[in-house]
Structure 1
């Protein structure tokens, strides 16, 4: 299996930068789906100005920067130095934004901070074994704090740990990383097992057009003692 930092550095170099503004002319915005100007926004997190929010797999930092612009303390974590270099280049002077290069489980194990919300957009919640990640997310969430993540819905019949391929050059084999795919009801039951409540998973349909793959979002709260 490919070293994850190398894989996500490769992925980062292939991805375009976030647009200067969205369709509404906003310089920062929150996007859960793989489509531009589509789907819900930061309201899924259920937090207000002053909240402490953690982005696991923050990539180039656009979502975390939006939360910082709303007056939250946004902490972004990513294993890729290339992703974070791009994030710092664009958002590094944003008040309230803090970026760390680290693997998600290790960061959560080592930080002493408690967060009001933890989220992941096609990030670490998709590409980390939930048996390792969910318990440490629960430990770092305040009672009642929200966990929200999005990813592509599973292909029918392909559940659990799957291979995900990151292309390279024409004469090179793709890089391979692991991802974890489950049906919505399985995610809901799994979250309850690991100390969450009010778990809800749903699929947002793709916008009109040639692409038909929707976006799975999963929401839950850290249970109270």
Structure 2
């Protein structure tokens, strides 16, 4: 797969080192939703159990996907960048239960037959795919009660909807223009509910104490079958009460 986007992300991958050998707690695998090391919530947000199937949309160098596999899940990561996938396969070759594929998120979900127990994206493909196209196929590939969650940078004040990112491609080439979708937390909630998700939460996680940098937008929802129709929210509340 070679197009402007995959080439751009290949170039971007060169600026990103491999994940540290261990985190602050001495763990060799871990889950990180934010752009800061050893900060923020963990894999528990996905509500998974050993043996569950989970999909990472834009898995990059594979650290989060490998952690879930180490916990006993059947973990699939997809990414547009062949170089990122090479990093993932090299670093996590000794972790069983992982699969990494080069694919566009929307095309992969449209063609997939697997139903996943959770689907997530950490600064990944959800940020760079039109939610009006992506959310229906995410919903179709999640089991009832499955979690969909993603994180990305919060939007720049006043810059909402489809925006442009410029990704370097090389010294002799113009940057690639990559679209991204930015909304405030209050906007993401009705968007997810419209596409069949309940118990939706959308918030900006604060950066580490003492940091003047930006926080992390974190959005999470639970799949409810479309046939539930207008009862989506009440069904979600019943599930939470159970």
Shorter chain as denominator, the TM-score bin is over 0.9
Aligned to 2:191: 190
Q: Which residue of 1 aligns with 2:117?
A: 116
When the two chains are superposed, the root-mean-square deviation of aligned CA atoms in Å is 1.4
Match of residue 50 from structure 2: 49
SS of corresponding position for 1:14: coil
State the partner residue of 2:162. Answer: 161
Q: How big is the shift at 1:50?
A: 1.2
Counterpart CA distance in 1 for 2:10 and 2:84 is: 7
In structure 2, the gaps of 5 or more residues are: 228-242
**Counterpart of 2:239?**
none
In 1, are the aligned partners of 2:117 and 2:143 still within 8 Å (CA)? Answer: yes
Q: Counterparts in 2 of 1:71-220, with a 5 A limit?
A: 71-167=72-168, 173-220=174-221
Shift of 1:4: 1.0
Aligned to 2:96, the other structure's residue is in SS state coil
Q: Could you report, residue by residue, the CA deviation over 1:110-153 in whole angstroms, capped at 9, with x for unpaired residues?
A: 11000000000000010111111110000000011100000000
Report if the CA contact (8 A) 1:204-1:216 is conserved.
Answer: yes
- Deviation string 1:54-85 (CA, Å, 9 cap, x unpaired) is 00000000000000000000000111101101
Segments of structure 1 that go 5 or more residues without pairing to the other structure are none
Give the length in aligned residue pairs: 224
1:10-21 to structure 2, matched below 5 A, reads 10-21=11-22
* CA positional deviation for 1:170: 6.3
Q: TM-score, normalised by structure 1?
A: 0.95
- Once the two structures are overlaid, the 10-residue window that deviates more, 202-211 or 62-71, is 202-211
Kindly indicate whether the alpha-carbon contact (under 8 Å) linking 1:125 and 1:133 is maintained by their aligned counterparts in 2: yes
Other structure's SS at 2:14 match = helix
Shifted more, 195-204 versus 170-179: the winner is 170-179
Larger Rg: 2
| Equivalent residue, structure 1, for 2:67 | 66
Moved more, 49-58 or 163-172: 163-172
- Could you state the TM-score of these two structures normalised by the residue count of structure 2? 0.89
Are the aligned partners of 2:57 and 2:121 in contact in 1 as well (CA < 8 Å)?
yes
Answer yes or no: is the 8 Å Cα contact 1:205–1:212 preserved in 2. Answer: no
